[in-house]
Structures are given as structure tokens and as C-alpha cells.
Structure 1
Amino acid sequence: MPALLAAAPLALIIALMLGLRWPAARAGLAGLAVALGVAYLGFGYGDAVLGEIGPARAGVFAFAEAGFTAATILWIIFPALCVYEIQKRSGAFDVIRAGLASVSTDRRVQVLLIAWFFALFMEGAAGFGTPVALAAPLLVSLGFAPLKAVTLALIGHAAGVSFGAVGTPIVAQADLTGISAQAIGQWTGLMHLLVGAVLVVLLMRVADDGRFVMRDSALAALAALCFLAPAALIAFAVGPELPTFAGAAIGAVIFVFALKRLGLERADEAAADDGAKRAESGGGNASERPGAKALLHAAAPYLVIVGLILASRMIVPLTEMLRAFSLAWSLPGGFSGRFEYLYHPGTMLMTGFILGALLQGRRLHDLLSAAGAAARRLAPVVVALLAMLAISRLMVHAQMIDTLAEAVARTGPIWPLFAAGVGGLGTFVTGSATASNILLSEFQMASARSLDLPAVIMLAAQSFGAALGNMACPHNIIAGGATVGLRGREGDVLRATLMPAVVYAALGGVVTLILVG
């Protein structure tokens, strides 16, 4: 009964968004009302749980955490929208689209370059929603509908979320459990290597409305191998900090080289015709090949962003200096927040927006106009984001998530089948693989001990699962949709990403069961 009560807010949100097609704001507010009732009446929130601070302060403090977290997420969405607006106004998207067409006229190849390699690269460099915020607008510029663009970006970056921004999710696990971060990363990389190609297949099927021919199998296998093999090798040889970032960079180079060598860059006739139509509808001409100078000019904001992120993550003295500046607070009962405002990806995005636009020759008026348009598009997102985050913080502090996880663990010997799913549940609620690992790694350790299972493999299953939850997390969907104006259709995105997340969780469960056996 407690587990059913704990699941009620999430079940309601999924039912409203999937079944009744409610927008995220309405569904989130309804879910929040149920979460408040369940937390206070069913779990004794502020009484049996956190009774030392009382019911009123327990509620206020949870909402304070939600508001603070929402602000840090909005600081990613807003500058990402600014970049999108200035790129649209400057015609840079047309140049980038033509540049991608010079690699291949096949939209499926272009999707792999953006939604797979570019999104994974940004996940490894920055994380925290940056990949979707940057990849989705680029996909829209290629002619993809906003709904499909967000779906592709969410699915495409998921395989790298286990390692996140410079290994943060797995480093957090190691700090909590005392097990080597490299050991956890090795098993996590192996799990993705074994089943990660499924994500590429799903990505290509979404990109082409379910059409999947023999040539697509070759493309999917090539793209999967180009990222997953280097990522796993780096995880085994180096550690968890670089698999996503370096794996994507190395993989993209190998992929483009292999395309040319194998002749896979040439689209079949139907795909080429469709790609040309998409290019025309987007305002560009796929046959025009921009020069290197034009491409650098058009890509200036992205190049600045990548450069800043790499410098801030890879130059240790700079990293330490930037992270020394933070806004942090804590309240009784374990409520807290921390915002490293110079190190945060949003600050890199805003700097990239300003410097990149200036390098393109934009004037102050252009920047202010783009920022104004971005702000107008941002406003409707706030309610939905706050509601979802408030549910998350209530469920964490009222121990509703613990109750759900413990209920699943009672499955006994077949528990490894569900371990990845629990990691995904943690990310679905919190929106962060790192938060999911912090929340559930000790639980996974305890389950491993009680069932006499290898703890390191169960922690890897947790990290694997935490990645897949990122695909379907409501407030990730809200944040990604905001960058392409997809307000009110978040349920459609959830409908498109939930099944891939479930399929990947099931595969992860099978792999975990085999590995522990």
C-alpha cells in the first residue's frame, strides 16, 4: 500500500500527459496536489518524517529547493534560447545546414551527427540539459518538426548521461559507497557497449517515421560502434571523466571518415529527395557548400561555448578558481542548494551567445532583440518546471522514493532485472543522473549485500539506469521543448521517449542479470 501511494503522483502525471494529452503545466500542478496530499497524509511529512522542523517549514523548504533548482535550469534554457534566436536572425542555421549537407544529403546521417555525436559531446562537456538545448534547435533548422527534434535530442544523448559532465554521476557514486569510480565506470561502459546500438536504431526510426532499410542498419552499427567502443575503452583505461566527451569527439571523426570510405554518405534516392525538400522548407539550399570561413562564422557561438566548457573542465587551476565562486545555502532537515555561477553551463552558454554574436558582427540591438524574444518564450515554461521540481523534492524528502525502491527490491533473486529501472525512476523524478545516483546508490549497495550480489555491478546498473531516465524525465522534456517553442505538447514527447526508455531499461536489466550470474 505505501508503494502504491508513493507512486500515485507519478502515475497521475503520466496518465494525464499520455492519456489525456494535458500540457506539462496542468499535469504538473495536478500531480503536485496529489504529492502534497500523499506526503503529508500518507507519509507523515513534517511529522513522522522531518518532524523536528514541523509540517509548515517542511513544505516551505521543499518549495525553496524546487525554486532554486528551477532557477539554475532556467539559466541554461534562457541563454540557449538566446543563441537560437540570434542564429535564426543571422542566417547562420542556413549555413550550418548546407555544411551538414556537404557531409551527406541524407537527413539520417545529419541526425546522427547532431543528435548522436554532437549531443553526446555536449553531454560529456557540460551536461545539465545543455545537449538537448543546443541540439534540438539545430535539428529544427534542418527542417524537423519541434516535437521530433526534442525527441531525437533526448534519445540521442542518453547513452552518455551515465558519465555525464566529466564523470560527475559516477564520481558521486564512488564518494558515497567507497567503491572505485573507475571500476563502476568500467562496468557501466561495458553495459552501454553491449546494448547501446539499440538507441541508434531507435533514433533513426524516429528520424524517418519508422522507415528502416538495410542501409540504415549499416549506418546505425557504424555510428554506435564509433562512439560506444572508444567510450568503453576510455572508461576501462582512464576512468569515468572522459568516456562521453572524448568518445563522442573521436567517434565523430571516425564516423565521417568511414562514411566517405564506405560510400555511406550518399543517400538513397527517396531520402535525398526528402532531404532536399526539408532543406528548401528550412530556407536553405542543400546543394550549396559553404566555405570554411563561412562555416566558422556561422558556428561562432557554438565554438565559443565548446571552448569555454573545455577550458573550464580540463584546466585544473581554472576549474578550481571558477568553482570557488558559488551561491550556497542550507536549512534544517537536509534542505540545501548550491549554484556555482561561474562554472555553470548556463554561464558558458550566455558568454557564447554574447561573444559569438559579436564575432558574427551582430550589434547590441541584435543581442537585446534576441534576448527579448528568448525571455518571452521562456515565461510559459516556469510554472511547469516549478511544479515538476516541487514534486521531486517532496518525494525525496518524504521518503516516497525510498519506499518505491524498497518495494521493487522485494523481488529477490530477479532483482537485477529491475535495478536499472530503479535508477531510471530516480532520474525520472529528479531530472538528474547525479541526483539519482546520490539518492539510490546506497540502496543498491544494501540490496546487493542482502542478495549476495556483486556490489560494483549493481552500482553500474544504477548508473546505466540513471541515464535512460533522462530520456523521459518531465522537466527535461519541458526544458528541451522550451528551446524550440514546444509548449503544451510535452505529453507527446513523453509518449515518444517513454517506450525507448522502457526498452533500454529492460535490456539493461537482462545484461545485469547475466553479469551477476
Structure 2
Amino acid sequence: MTTSQLFTALTPILSVLILLVALRLPAKLAMPLSLLITAFATFFIWGVPFTQMLAASLEGVIIALTILWIVFGAILLLKALERTGATHTIKLGFSSISPDKRVQLIIVAWLFGSFLEGAAGFGTPAAIAAPLLVALGFTPISAVVLALMADSSAVSFGAVGTPAIVGIGQGAKGLSSTDVSQIAVTAVGIDILVAALLPLFMVLMYCRFFADSSSWRKGFEMAPFAVMSAFAFTLPAYTVAWLFGPEFPSVLGGMLGLAIVCPLARIGFLLPKNTSDHSATNLAQSSPLSLTRAWLPYVLVAIALVVTRLPQLPLSTWLQSANVEWVGILGTDLSVNVMPLYLPGTVFMLVAVIAVWLQRSQSSQLFSAVKDSANMLYPSLISLCAAVPMVRIFLHSGVNDNALPAMPMALAELVASHLGDAWIFMAPLVGALGSFIAGSATFSNLMFASFQQAIAIDTSLNQQLILALQMLGANGGNMIAVVNVVAACSVVGLHGKEGDVIRYTLLPMLYYCLAASTIAWLFWS
């Protein structure tokens, strides 16, 4: 690989970091520029035919529209609940558990978000948790940053185990279902120690950068409760993974974590005595809705996401049968399919309609919510319809006139050739690279699992351990994935601040990856 080819392979990464993070351009400008730069270099230097690039771009636009469908549904649900008064009631409910916003952050982003990740994955946790945090009084940027940080550990078993079952199971070679389960158990075993500090880091970032009074000390006050909350999720998740496999650790871990932490928070267990500096804004202690009716839409979302994703139930097959597929785009070997009824966005929209009816609101409020949601979504249309095609060009660059591998594989091979002896420390970073570019831990595992497996064989490392580190790295990369960041910002109307979000989440991502490597090296290698 020549120097110009190396810079071409790095173009999608460098252009995003320079334009979005360093120069702080809004995503609606940075992503189209990144797409143009990437397409130019890919065609003239990597040698990818124009038809292949155009087909990859069309595939990307269709995928972007499915993401926008999910985001629109999440915004619509939030706007509908604001109009019915449900969000006000939910605020009162959290005040009855604890008025401390640090506690509310852990419950909503870490535990409820983990449950949503296990049920649906693919950006759903941030799409639901971030606006809920805003409703509780968090600033939009803090809500997005903290929701993305929280949506990491549970990603190993997101969407009923898809990153493990599909990503690792199909991405690596010759693995049985037992092998995949053992890799998943190894990953969550390492994660028990890695994720032990994640809720604390979330609270520390909130207290230092986003609270009214900036203070590290106020964050450290929450250390006992935060660490306890971390184990309340990871230990049940490990037990479920060990006993039953990779389908339900995040779903059941999140549910059990909520069942453990909420009652303990209510009685002040392990909480500091003085919480006045971080208490939610005082609210009038009255609401037209009961707490049960206010939370019912979220309960319906959770139930619907679980039952529609269980392969044992016929509903999953029926919803997936409504499948629009484009095979052989422009005569290439690329294909894309959309299952509109199966997308989480459809669930969100249906529940929004039901919520307006259950909470006895007027239909005009639903129409108003639809209008507001569409207006909020418009800036993200440009960003995502440029970002995702850029990603697909990058991933499908293996078809070229220079007999080069696809760009991500070329970069990984280059790193492996120089740092193979220290691969236990590089494996999670490769997984994170995959999620950063592809916007999905499942795609990262599909893309790099066989490569990680080959490196493990060449360097005489434990294949199971290296594939587990690939999974964990993909989890960490989820915090900075461009597609996830743009989508989460869209839900709370935070346009033009995507680079700021990545700057905040970059350090936690590096911690997650390096901590996973260090723990694996100390205890598993």
C-alpha cells in the first residue's frame, strides 16, 4: 500500500475528525464535505469504479432513511408525551425515587438504556434516553453525551444478542453456537471489571462539565452508589449469559438492575446526604395523569420491542415478511433490504398514537407533534444521507482496479503487521474503529471478526479472548459512532454540536478499550 493509498484509506476517519471535531463544523456541512473528499480519493487513488461507488452510496441513502425513520419515531413519542402531560408526571415520579439528578442519570441512561439496548439496539437507547434526560432537566448536549456513554456495556447483547450471534457468529469462521456463547461469556466477564466505573465516569462528567456548579467532588460523592449500580447490571448480565446464552443478558440485566437500584435509591442506600446542589427543578406536585398512565407508553415500547424480536414467536417472522429488497444495485453485488414494520421507529409511532388515546388527549395534539418532529428531523436528513453513503463506500472499497482489500481491512492489516506482538491491546481499538465508521457493533464484528481470528492464530493468542476484545471494542466505539451521534443529536434538536459530543465521548471510549485490554492481559491471557 503506497502512501497516497494509506491516506485514502484514512480519509473517512481523518475528514470526520478534522471537519467535525477539530474545526467544529456542523454535521450538515462536515458530512457532505467528508463524502465528497472520500469519493474523490476512492475513485482516483483506490481505483474503485464509479458504478460501485454510486451503488454503495444508494445503499447508504436507503440505510440512512431507515435510521431517520427510527429517529422520527423517537421524537414523535417524546413530543406526544409532552403534550399529554406525561413527561411532567414522569419528572414527579423520579423525584419520588430521588430528587438527585445524578441518581436519575444512572437509572435512565445506564439501567433503562441497557434494557432498551438489549431489546432493540441500533441506536434505540440514545433515541429514548437522551430526550427523557432532557425532560428531566438535563441540557441537550449533556443528555446526548451521557446517553452515548451509557450505551456501551449492554451493546454486546443488543437487539436480543445480534452483535454476538450475527456479528461474531457469522463474521468469524468455523464457530459453533457454543463457541459464540463462550466468547460472549468471556466478553461480559471482562466487562464486569471494565464497566464497574462507567456509571461513576458518567456522574463525574455531569458534575464537572454540565452541572450548574462544576465540581469533581460532587461526582466522587456518588462513587459507592454508582459502582453498586454498575454491578447491578453486569452481574445479572453475566449470569444470564453463562446460563442461557447471548440473547437476553442485556434485557434481563437492565430489568433486574432497575428492580435492584430503584428501591435502594428511594431509601437513600449508599447515597450522599446532601443532594440539594443536584436536585431536579422543583415541580408543582400535581399532574392530570397517574404515574402508571404516564409510564405506560414506555412500558408498551419495551414490551413491543421484546416480543417482536423473539425468534420463538411468530410475530417476529410476520413483521419481517414485509420486506422491500433491492438486489444487485446498479448491476453490482450490493443489496439492501428494509423491513418497515420491524423497525423500532414503527413501534415508537404506533405507541405515540396509542399514548394520545390512552392519556385522553386531543388528536390535534398528535398532528402538532408530527409537525414539530418533522421540523426537528430536517437538519439530520442532510447529515445522515451523506454520512452513511460515505461509510458504505469505505466498507465496499474491496472492489477496485488495484487488487487492494477494502479500506478498513487494509488499515487493520497495516496495524497488525507492525503491532502484532501487542495485539491484545490493539484488538479492542480495531473493534472501536469498526463501530466509529459503520455506526454499529454488529457491522464492526461482521467486518473484523475473521481478521481478528486470523491475527490470533498468527500470534498464538487465544482466539476466544481476542474475539471477546473485538466485541468490547465495538461496544466502546458505539460512544463515538458518527451515525449514532448525529441521530442522538437529532432527537433532542442539538444540531451543529456533533463534534463537541465526540470530543466528550472520545476519552471514555479510550478508557473502555484500554481497560478491556489491560484486564484481559492481567487475568485472561
Match of 1:485 among 493, 503, 514: 493
Q: Give aligned-pair identity as a percent.
A: 33
Alpha-carbon separation, structure 2, partners of 1:354 and 1:371: 10
CA distance in structure 1 between the aligned counterparts of 2:450 and 2:234, rounded to whole angstroms: 28
Distance 1:289 1:465, change over 3 A: farther
State the alpha-carbon separation in 2 of the partners of residues 260 and 368 from structure 1.
38
Shift in Å, 1:15: 1.8
> For residues 78 and 266 of structure 2, what CA distance do their matches in structure 1 show?
30
After TM superposition, give the deviation of residue 299 of structure 1 in Å: 1.8
Partner of 1:395: 394
1:226-375 correspondence runs (5 A): 226-260=232-266, 263-264=269-270, 268-269=273-274, 271-275=275-279, 278-280=280-282, 284-285=283-284, 288=285, 294-314=290-310, 316-331=313-328, 332-375=331-374
Residues 324 and 338 of structure 2 are in contact (CA less than 8 Å); yes or no, is this contact kept in structure 1? Answer: yes
Q: Distance in 1 between matches of 2:217 and 2:247?
A: 34
Q: Distance in 2 between matches of 1:82 and 1:238?
A: 36
SS in 2 for 1:240: coil
Kindly tell me: are residues 333 and 150 of structure 1, through their superposed partners in 2, closer, same or farther at Cα, counting changes over 3 Å?
Answer: same
TM-score (norm 2): 0.91
Q: Amino acid of the residue matched to residue 415 of structure 1?
A: W
**CA distance change for structure 1 residues 32 and 345 in 2, over 3 Å: closer, same or farther?**
same
Is contact 1:191-1:511 (8 Å) kept?
Answer: yes
Aligned to 1:202: 201
- The corresponding residue for 1:121 is 115
Unaligned runs of 5+ in 1: 47-54
Are residue 431 (structure 1) and residue 439 (structure 2) matched? yes
> Per-residue CA shift, 1:199-258, capped at 9, x if unaligned?
212111122125245531101111111001111111111111111111010011111233
2-structure distance, mates of 1:239, 1:58:
39
- Give CA deviations for 1:13-43 in whole Å, capped at 9, x if unaligned: 1122222211112111221122112211221
Q: Of residues 5, 10, 33 in structure 2, which corresponds to 1:7?
A: 10
Aligned counterparts of 2:338 and 2:104: Cα–Cα separation in 1: 35
The partner residue of 1:406 within 408, 413, 416 is 413
Decide whether the 8 Å contact of 2:456 with 2:462 is kept in 1: yes
Per-residue CA deviations over 1:425-454 (Å, capped at 9, x if unaligned) read 001001011111111111111111111112
Tell whether the 8 Å contact from 1:3 to 1:407 is kept in structure 2 after alignment.
no
Amino acid at match of 1:404: L
2:423 counterpart of 1:453:
no
Letter in 2 for 1:188: A
Does the 8 A contact of 1:112 with 1:223 survive in 2?
yes
Match of 2:150 in 1: 156
Q: Structure 1 residues 219 and 465, CA, compared in 2 at 3 Å: closer, same or farther?
A: same
* AA at the equivalent of 1:450: D
Q: Report if the CA contact (8 A) 2:12-2:391 is conserved.
A: no
Which residue in the other structure is 2:106 paired with? 112
Q: Distance in 2 between matches of 1:408 and 1:144?
A: 40
1:175-211 Cα shifts (integer Å, max 9, x gaps): 3433222112111111211211222121111221252
Are the counterparts in 2 of residues 17 and 27 from structure 1 also a CA contact under 8 Å?
Answer: yes
TM-aligned CA deviation for residue 515 of structure 1: 5.1
**Alignment partners' CA distance in 2, 1:352 and 1:273:** 36
1:175 aligns to 2:174 (yes or no) = no
> Which ranges in structure 2 are unaligned for 5 or more consecutive residues?
209-214, 398-405
SS of residue paired to 1:338: strand
In 2: Cα distance, 1:262 partner to 1:367 partner: 39
1:335 partner SS = coil
State the 1:482 CA deviation: 0.7
TM-score normalised according to structure 1 size? 0.93
Decide whether aligned partners of structure 1 residues 43 and 516 sit closer, same or farther in structure 2, where only a CA change above 3 A counts.
Answer: farther
User: Displaced runs of 4+ in structure 1, greater than 6 A?
Assistant: none
Deviation (angstroms), 1:262: 5.9
Q: Secondary structure at the match of 1:328?
A: strand
Q: Equivalent residue for 1:27?
A: 30
User: Which whole-Å CA distance do the structure 1 matches of 2:416 and 2:144 have between them?
Assistant: 33
Supply the distance in 2 between the matched residues of 1:500 and 1:334 (Cα, whole angstroms): 38
Say if 1:97 and 1:279, in contact at 8 Å, map to a contact too. Answer: no
Partner of 2:135: 141
> Once structures 1 and 2 are overlaid, which stretch shifts more, 20-29 or 222-231?
20-29
Task: Tell me the number of residue pairs that the alignment of Structure 1 and Structure 2 aligns.
Answer: 498
Secondary structure, counterpart of 2:335 in structure 1? strand
Distance 2:287 2:250 in 1: 30
For residue 63 of structure 2, the aligned residue among 57, 69, 73 is: 69
Measure, in 2, the Cα distance between the counterparts of 1:260 and 1:139: 19
The CA RMSD over aligned residues, in Å, is 1.8
Residue type of the partner of 1:467? Answer: N
Counterpart of 1:395, as a letter, is F
Number of the residue aligned with 1:50: none
Separation of aligned partners in 2, 1:363 and 1:260: 35
Asked if the contact 2:98/2:266 (under 8 Å) is kept, the reply is no
Contact 1:437/1:463 (<8 A) preserved: yes
1:496 and 1:273 mapped to 2: Cα distance? 23
